[in-house]
Amino acid sequence: DVKVTQSSRYLVKRTGEKVFLECVQDMDHENMFWYRQDPGLGLRLIYFSYDVKMKEKGDIPEGYSVSREKKERFSLILESASTNQTSMYLCASYKETGANVLTFGAGSRLTVL
């Protein structure tokens, strides 16, 4: 069974802390994504990567950075967490086909106090 694994399901951090969210996929997918999901706002794309060491800004990249050193791993970094970054973070990946079907992880719920 193909999988996208997000290492932390629930995190509580303080304002100003550096936060790492890790995502690993075992499907040899080229494309990986980080979304945040908030009530009333739906899924919003933060960053995506189509290859190792490549990254592209999504719709809301401010306050975030990413790292993709290996094909299977895509990390989201909050350099200095703020309360407005309290959210559900979802990692996803797909392999290039006609219909690029995303496989999502279970999500990481981050609370910034």
Partner 1 sequence: QKEVEQDPGPLSVPEGAIVSLNCTYSNSAFQYFMWYRQYSRKGPELLMYTYSSGNKEDGRFTAQVDKSSKYISLFIRDSQPSDSATYLCAPLIQGAQKLVFGQGTRLTINP
**Member of 2, 12, 27, 41 binding partner 1 (CB under 8 A):** 41
**Member of 1, 69, 84, 99 binding partner 1 (CB under 8 A):** 99
* 92 contacts: CB under 8 Å, gap ≥ 6: 4, 32, 33, 35, 102, 103, 104, 105
Tell me the site size for partner 1, rule CB under 8 A.
Answer: 22
Burial of 36 (0-12, 13-18, 19+ CB in 10 A): buried
Residue 11 binds partner 1, judged by CB under 8 A? no
**Closer to partner 1 by Cβ: residue 40 or 84:** 40
Residue 61 binds partner 1, judged by CB under 8 A? no
User: Which is it for the CA torsion 78, 83, 85, 86, positive or negative?
Assistant: positive
Burial of 102 (0-12, 13-18, 19+ CB in 10 A): middle
Shortest Å, Cβ 109 to partner 1: 8
Binding site for partner 1 (CB under 8 A): 4, 31, 40-43, 45, 48, 50, 56, 58, 90, 92, 98-102, 104-107
